[in-house]
Amino acid sequence: MEDRQKAQAMLERVGEFKSEPLTNFSVPENAAAFEAALAKVRGQFGEKHPLVIGGEEIWTEATLVTTNPAHPDQVVGIFSKADGELAKQAVEAAEAAFATWSRTPATERAEILLRAAALMRERRHELSAWMVYEVGKNWVEADADTVEAIDFLEYYARQMLKLELVEVYQTPGELDTLHYIPLGVGVVIPPWNFPLAITVGMSSAAIVAGNAIVLKPASDSPAIAWAYFRILQDAGLPKGVCNFLSGPGAIAGEVLVDHPKTRFIAFTGSKEVGLRINERAARPQPGQRWIKRTILEMGGKDAVVVDETADLDAAARDIILSAFGFQGQKCSAGSRAIIVDKVYDALLEKVAEQARKILVIGDPDKREHYTGPVVSKSQFRTVTEYIEIGKQEGRLLYGGKVLDRDGYFIEPTIFADVAPDARIAQEEIFGPVLTISKTADWKEAIDIANGTEFGLTGAYYSADPERIAYAKQEFHVGNLYINRKCTGALVGIHPFGGFNMSGTDSKAGGPDYLLLFTQAKSIGQKLP
Ligand code: NDP
């Protein structure tokens, strides 16, 4: 069978993409299974892990140690630490693997993603448990991260098959075709905050499109990336197609980005690092034969706008969920609420009430706790500094106290009456801090929402169809939500990525995403 026919047959066999359901933890068996996974992962604390380059395990003397942010004396994993030399070797190993992987039929590549998805389902609670312990996600957030990862695998496998089926018009006397071929060696650099979903999303898209990659996990979350890497190995991914290279971004990351054989960089993380990668990648290196492509997803300062026609109870609840899910450490977090004058005081009261109800602080390995620690000591310092700035720039409505606890716990904190141009309303804090600003009317509220350098997500709460129509056009963000929270994008349903300094709007989990990892070759063949 021809590749096209094989892709068509496989698409029919696997059927349409369907979102993986979240776990219902109120079912006692599910809760028990999660407890068991937590215990299993605790039993693996402190294990050592190698780099894997070209299928070969490499153990370095220098190590990178990750700890549990709820109990920083607990070592979660010990990882080998790549230096510049090993980073170069990893690029070369990927280049060698690319020669055969790029010629492997799309159906075989897609099969590997589907096998990985099946393994991920089997190990789903274990994967989530790593996130509870290595980055401090609560049960529900960790489960959602794993579900998103499974969705990416299932979705990109199908998207690759669909790309095989793209057709062009025919001119008489010719056979005209278009083929999406891979780019080459890619460097995949994810952040720690969606340590499974984003790692899986960026890397699986690159791999299924026929590229070979170097995966450099974030230094705060290599154990989760390692659990995923093992799944790729178990799913039968050939050696060298994905090389596992834990190590500091500033060293290994830069060598990978600069390497003349690197063809593209898929990055998700802060604006500062993203812009630096963009600049370095633009500079051609001796021996480089292409323009490097960068796929950059960066920060946000996302806003929830509420007008006087909105359902205030729903808005209050969603303001809290948008701002404080995973301690506000989401690029999509609604870290600003912008509320019109007429309902400002009433809504503030409701917001504080919801905060008291929802934001139960404690170890994230206990199901009843919503708010865990922030990821690291440095993140703890940064966020507490911003809280001090907030005390000058706004009126403390909720939280703000120093907690006497082991671990990097920060009390979720809300500042009201914040001027839209205040630092805490403009800079990405990436922690549990919400600013609330008052506006004269709904149009001004949307202007304020648009008034930062970012443009990632946003939510508008209103019952007025005309205003909603205006918001759909004028609220300038990559992911806009109407009358629902601004976090929780679903693969295949809400393709994700932002405008302006939020990145290249690459729309992860959308129909165009794989194109970023391919180049199209058009062939016109004269018929005899
Ligand atoms: P960072 O930018 O600090 O790090 C992201 C990744 O880049 C890490 O793997 C890091 O490695 C690596 N890195 C650091 N320095 C360099 C360098 N000089 N060259 C190459 N790689 C480097 O971000 P965080 O991990 O702290 O993640 C939080 C940020 O991510 C927030 O700004 C958030 O908004 C953004 N984000 C954006 C999303 C989006 O889709 N738009 C989604 C999720 C998060 P190491 O860990 O070793 O330093």
Tokens coding 279: 């600049």
Residue range 334-359: mean pLDDT, rounded: 98
Contact 7, 106 (CB under 8 A): yes
pLDDT beyond 80 at 99? yes
Closest atom of ligand 1 to 456 CA is: 41
pLDDT beyond 70 at 197? yes
Please indicate whether residue 251 or residue 429 has the higher confidence score (pLDDT). Answer: 429
pLDDT digits 0-9 by tens, 433-451? 999 999 999 999 999 999 9
Going by pLDDT thresholds of 50, 70 and 90, the confidence category of residue 2 is confident
Residue range 199-206: mean pLDDT, rounded: 98
The reported pLDDT for the residue numbered 252 is 86
Residue range 289-315: mean pLDDT, rounded: 98
Return d(Cα 208, Cα 514) in angstroms, integer: 9
Residue range 510-519: mean pLDDT, rounded: 98
Contact 322, 331 (CB under 8 A): no
pLDDT digits 0-9 by tens, 366-421? 999 999 999 999 999 999 999 999 999 999 999 998 888 889 999 999 999 999 99
Helix, strand, coil percentages (3-state) for the chain, rounded to 5, are 45, 20, 35
Residues whose beta carbon lies within 6 Å of some atom of ligand 1? 189-194, 198, 216, 218-220, 248-250, 253-254, 257, 268-270, 273, 276-277, 297-300, 331, 428, 430, 456, 498, 502-503
Pocket probe for ligand 1: among 65, 193, 259, the residue whose CB has the most ligand atoms within 8 Å is: 193
Alpha carbon distances (Å) from 97 to 365, 468, 479: 40, 50, 36
- Average of per-residue pLDDT values in the chain: 97
* Distance in Å, CA 406 to ligand 1 centroid: 26
What is the residue whose two structure tokens read 């028990």?
32
The reported pLDDT for the residue numbered 501 is 98
pLDDT beyond 80 at 1? no
pLDDT digits 0-9 by tens, 122-152? 999 999 999 999 999 999 999 999 999 999 9
Tokens coding 386: 């911003």
Tokens coding 361: 């602080």
pLDDT > 70: percent of the chain = 100
Contact 490, 468 (CB under 8 A): no
Nearest to 513 by CA among 209, 101, 306: 209
The reported pLDDT for the residue numbered 145 is 98
Please indicate whether residue 406 or residue 37 has the higher confidence score (pLDDT). Answer: 37
Alpha carbon distances (Å) from 96 to 103, 250, 254, 456: 12, 25, 21, 37
User: Does an H or E element contain 42, and which?
Assistant: helix 28-42
Q: Which residues are catalytic?
A: 297, 331
Q: What is the largest CA-CA distance in the chain?
A: 82
In sequence order, what DSSP letters do the residues of 131-197 get, joined into one string? HHHHH---HHHHHHHHHHHHHHHHHHHHHHHHHHT------TTEEEEEEEEE-SEEEEE--SSSTTH
Closest atom of ligand 1 to 194 CA is: 43
Residue range 84-104: mean pLDDT, rounded: 98
3-state SS assignment for residue 365: coil
**If you compute the radius of gyration of the chain from its CA atoms, what whole number of angstroms results?**
23
Closest atom of ligand 1 to 217 CA is: 9
pLDDT beyond 90 at 462? yes
* Distance in Å, CA 143 to ligand 1 centroid: 22
Residue range 426-432: mean pLDDT, rounded: 98
Measured from the Cβ of residue 249, the count of other Cβ atoms closer than 10 Å reads 20
Give 477: exposed, middle or buried? Use CB within 10 Å, 0-12, 13-18, 19+.
buried
Model-level pTM? Answer: 0.98
The reported pLDDT for the residue numbered 518 is 98
Give, using CA atoms, the residue closest to atom 20 of ligand 1.
Answer: 253
Alpha carbon distances (Å) from 409 to 70, 74, 362, 394, 437: 7, 15, 8, 22, 26
In degrees, rounded to 5, the angle at the alpha carbon of residue 112 between the alpha carbons of residues 110 and 116 is 120
Contacts of 401 (CB under 8 A, 6+ apart): 411
Residue range 255-260: mean pLDDT, rounded: 98
Alpha carbon distances (Å) from 525 to 105, 139, 167, 170, 367: 21, 56, 15, 10, 62
Return d(Cα 335, Cα 312) in angstroms, integer: 18
User: Sign (positive/negative) of CA torsion 376, 508, 256, 279?
Assistant: negative
Pocket probe for ligand 1: among 331, 382, 457, 507, the residue whose CB has the most ligand atoms within 8 Å is: 331
Closest atom of ligand 1 to 498 CA is: 41
Give, using CA atoms, the residue closest to atom 13 of ligand 1.
Answer: 249
Measured from the Cβ of residue 39, the count of other Cβ atoms closer than 10 Å reads 11
